[in-house]
Structure 1
Amino acid sequence: MTRSRRLLDACAPALDRALEMRFVREVADGTVGDAAYADYLEIEAAFVETAARLHGLAAWDAPGWTAIGRNARAAYALVTGQADYFEAARAAWPVPARLDRDAARGAGGLSRYALDAAREGGYPAVMTVLFAAETLYLTWCSRAHREGRVRPGPIADWVALHADEAFRAGVDALAREVDGLPETVPDERLERWFTGMLDAEIAFHDAVYA
């Protein structure tokens, strides 16, 4: 069994808990409100910036050319396709974001957690927290795209972006990086980073309802 598979199996309860988030359920069944999604666009755009920084750090600290390329391509996708999405979605959305200070701080915990983990654990931590976040998004967006009643327009576009083959390939690449992490980094530490990231994702998405 690969190391990434062991990690997913060990963290399955935390992933299942994250998949039951109100935001995930409401996007899938088409009931997410305009105000909640406006706030989501605000906080998710900020986290995409953090993710680009994490991939840049990972490219610097990568163990070889293949990993450098994987992280560089991921950073490029974030600063091009995903950045373009936010520009278009915010322009098209019928209401502006109205996050209060407490909600914004709660949402910012996701970036704080990921960056703190990166400072603690370097490349292994970056790969693990990104693998957690992207596995969550691939799982719930694939399900919503296949089985849900997602509202057409920017919401459906966002879900489709995280259910397509390019995104799946990115998650597979993260899994391979986790597989290659040195055994000197114990499984228990990977599990702590992975589940901690999922807990931060829950608080992040719940902030749009605060």
Structure 2
Amino acid sequence: MTATTYLQSCAADDWQAATTHSFVYAVADGTMGRDKMAGYLQQDYLFVEGFVRLLASSVAQAPTLADAVPGAQFLGLICDQENTYFLRSFKALNVPQARHAAPQTQAFQQLMEDARQSGRYEIMLAVLVVAEWIYLDWAAPFEDCAEDLPFWLGEWINLHASPGFAGVVTYLRGQLDDVWETLDVGARADVTTTFAKAVALERAFFDAAWRGFPVHRHPG
């Protein structure tokens, strides 16, 4: 069993709840309401800055250039293709970017910042692996549904179900699997705690999104 498979097993209940959530099924079958998706995307977009900073910090901590390059390439994708998707979706859904984070968003933002400030590659990876692997896990089964959906649903699936994104997850997991072998018992416990907390916060975010985040509207 790889380290990341072990870590996933330690958070199995929350992982299963997040990746088979009613919210993701509604995205996949096209029954997701415009307002509910708008509120979700507004909150999810607030993660981008913190995620980019965390990913950039992990690239800086990577042990070799070969270890750093895939992460650097992924930074470019987030700042280009994914960022453009958000902006197009906000326009289509007739909402602005949100200015205020919901409590569930704030909690994950703080986790990312704590991981970045730790200066520890393994802690950064624990958060990054969860953030991306959960999305691959829920989106991959629905890849064939995407083309029949409005783009603000279908492209969200495709962004997280593509072979390129799967490669990113494989890269991040491989980095954490490798570094795990160098850690002592205390460091492994820290990674396990961080990983489990990240999974629990992802589940909480989906729960809140399914209830419906307040939608920020254009003034006037």
Quote the residue 1:200 is aligned against. 201
Q: Which runs of 5+ in 1 are unaligned?
A: none
Alignment map for 1:165-180 (pairs within 5 Å): 165-180=163-178
Question: Does the 8 Å contact 1:145/1:163 carry over to 2?
Answer: yes
Quote the residue 2:55 is aligned against. 55
Q: Which amino acid in structure 2 is aligned with residue 32 of structure 1?
A: M
Alignment map for 1:176-187 (pairs within 5 Å): 176-181=174-179, 182-184=182-184, 186-187=187-188
Other structure's SS at 1:28 match: helix
Alignment map for 1:47-126 (pairs within 5 Å): 47-93=47-93, 95-96=94-95, 104-120=102-118, 122-126=120-124
Deviation at 1:62, TM superposition (A): 1.6
Distance 1:105 1:97, change over 3 A: farther
In the superposition, the TM-score normalised over structure 2's length comes to 0.83
Q: Deviations over 1:124-160 (max 9, x none)?
A: 1111111011111001011222468973321101101
Task: Tell me the percent identity.
Answer: 26
In the superposition, the TM-score normalised over structure 1's length comes to 0.87
Q: Which runs of 5+ in 2 are unaligned?
A: 214-220
Question: Does the 8 Å contact 1:15/1:136 carry over to 2?
Answer: yes
What is the rounded CA distance, in whole Å, between the counterparts of 2:86 and 2:97 in structure 1? 16
Question: Does the 8 Å contact 1:108/1:204 carry over to 2?
Answer: no
What is the rounded CA distance, in whole Å, between the counterparts of 1:117 and 1:23 in structure 2? 27
Distance 1:86 1:99, change over 3 A: closer
What is the rounded CA distance, in whole Å, between the counterparts of 1:100 and 1:152 in structure 2? 25
Question: Does the 8 Å contact 2:4/2:173 carry over to 1?
Answer: yes
Quote the residue 2:5 is aligned against. 5
Quote the residue 2:218 is aligned against. none
Q: Deviations over 1:166-198 (max 9, x none)?
A: 000000000110111122264332221111111
Quote the residue 1:38 is aligned against. 38
* Alignment size in residue pairs: 208
Distance 1:67 1:4, change over 3 A: same
